[in-house]
Amino acid sequence: MASSSDLEQLAEIELQKEEEEEHKCVTDAPSAPPISSSGSIPDSSHPYYDVARHGIIQVTGDDNYGRKLIVFSSCCLPPSHQLNHRRLLEYLKLTLDQYVEMDYILVYFHHGLRSINKPSLKWLREAYGEFDRKYKKNLKALFVVHPTNFIRIVWNIFKPLISHKFGKKLMYVNFLDELRDHLNFEQLSVPPEVLRHDAKLRAAQKGGPRPSARTPPPRPPLPTQQFGVRLRTEGLFRRSAQVQLIKDIQKLYNLGKPVNFDDYDDVHVPAVILKTFLRELPEPLLTFRVYSQVQEILNIQSSLRVSRCQQIVESLPEHQFIVVKFLLCFLHMVSQESIFNKMSPSNLACVFGVNLVWPRDGSISLTALTPINIFTELLIEHFHAVFKSRCPPGQETP
């Protein structure tokens, strides 16, 4: 049986082989322009700007169960001498701390890891040791995209340290298309370098590249349709915790048929339906127009932020305002029971913020999350102050 040091040496050799093989494939092709990380560039005042500016870690939407997606892209790692890996670990923990109280998913894009930018195996051991039960308990899946022999060797090195339960959460993904079975792929932030690598792998398959799926022309919505259409009615905020159940309930609503949640005997069913309804609107409930205003909330003096929130929501069209007021009243009521349900205004904001407002391109950078979450938290915590002035005819609250 190979020793740990032998496996570490084998891993280094394997990584060098992979780099050489990749270099052979690239020499005959025109050099690619530098790739910048997706999402907006973080403000230089960010406490981890030296790490965040590379775009290594991104929070990019939800999977098919409504669980938050956190992406780690190896191709965005700069050379090791340009990055403090200790601070990278701290930044990763800071990011995860916002979501570990709820179910979440990690997606690791392996392509782009090279000898020059690879964290040491000692660092990996320390990192795994620092991620205690708090981080591991609610991690529901770790997708390793484009795995190589290097990954498999590293896995064998760490196998004695990894519990069987955690090991079952690891899933190898050979092609990006395979992620569509598990995630909302359109929300996923995939670096261009990874997209090109995936295309190269598919082209190398026997038979050449897979034919691209043709998108059928959009069908007009049913008169009773509620999901995937512009906001027309209020109150239908529900979804389930299993993919097929999600589809079945959505279908019932889109056909105008009644849904009795007592039949499902699970409070999480309507809770996830709520997030799905908001997330699948073609335009966010708070509209694209207010996204830039929300991003500026941190530039406003703390004592004036509630009144600024009031100005923003009062500028919404009437239908959006009615639903926003109803929803935020409900979330405010939920937060009042946080001593029992652990869902404070801050925790609720982390769940709902990205489902209430997003930019037109659909991609939210990690640094853009902070103002979104703070804005949403203010709406929930100060509901009565924010919504006290405007009361449309027939407006009801929970």
Q: Rounded to a whole number, what is the largest CA-CA distance in the chain?
A: 76
CA distances (Å), origin 86, targets 89, 120, 121, 130, 277 = 5, 11, 13, 12, 39
Residue 270: count other Cβ atoms within 10 Å of its Cβ.
16
What is the set of domains in the chain, with CATH numbers? 4-26+47-205 (3.40.525.10), 225-387 (1.10.555.10)
Task: Lowest mean pLDDT of 2-6, 291-295, 299-303, 348-352, name the range.
Answer: 2-6
For 323-349, how does the pLDDT look when each residue is reduced to its tens digit (9 = 90+)?
999 999 999 988 887 777 778 888 888
Select the more confidently predicted residue: 81 or 205.
81
Q: What is the pLDDT of residue 211?
A: 42
For 174-224, how does the pLDDT look when each residue is reduced to its tens digit (9 = 90+)?
889 888 877 777 778 889 999 999 998 888 775 554 444 443 444 455 556
Structure tokens at 269: 């069913």
Residue labelled with tokens 């990584």: 15
Structure tokens at 274: 């709520």
Task: Lowest mean pLDDT of 46-50, 63-67, 260-264, name the range.
Answer: 63-67
CA distance 354 to 393: 29
Q: Which pTM was predicted? A: 0.57
